[in-house]
Amino acid sequence: MALSPRLVLASGSPRRLELLAQAGIEPEQLLPADVDETPERSEHPRSLARRLARQKADRARFVLAERDELEGRLILAADTVVAVGREILPKAELEDDAIANLRILSGRMHRVFTGLCAIGPGSDRHRLRVVESRVRFKRLSREDMDFYIASGEWRGKAGGYAIQGIAGSFVVRLIGSYTNVVGLPLYETVSLLGGLGLDIHGRTRAPVPETAAT
């Protein structure tokens, strides 16, 4: 049996770290990847999530190679995109962004896409997944919006909200993975990492043959 690889998470997101901990997985190190998250012209939200996850994984791999720390490392990267139809909602950094997002989301169904990209130890091959969930918000009153803006929970969040906080009370319906909406779909993530040989059950295992397309 091969030794379990050491996991590097190409993200500084506390939410993703907490979700991995929930599954009993602790990365050896965090290596946030700074990439331009601007959508390309006419880019579909699903394609954006997939592309950014791959770019983040590649960036982390480059940094590890430069440090001569690549050997035995399994890299995981993720990116979450919120969209209404084909309209991609920005991460909210300013109150105006958050208010605009809430107005679009109010009373409507939207989709949350999380792209996952993993690169196994000693490999240039990418394993990619995109997970989709659908969420419907209630019709938000002005008081709802003002209260949420005052909370500050929207800062830096895809689509301008965090479902694990106050915005959870806005959700009328959710179809798909809840943890995907938080920022890391746990079932798919654990399956992906386990397939690349990560010790997820307290024992070592060899990676399964790679079959996913790059």
Contact 112/173 with Cβ under 8 angstroms?
A: no
Residue 199 annotated in active site: no
CA nearest 194: which of 15, 23, 31? 23
Selected catalytic residue, list 79, 97, 144, 146: 79
CA gap 68, 78 in Å, rounded? 23
CA gap 69, 65 in Å, rounded? 6
Task: Provide the strand spans (E) within 28-99.
Answer: 29-30, 73-84, 87-89
Write out the catalytic residue numbers. 79
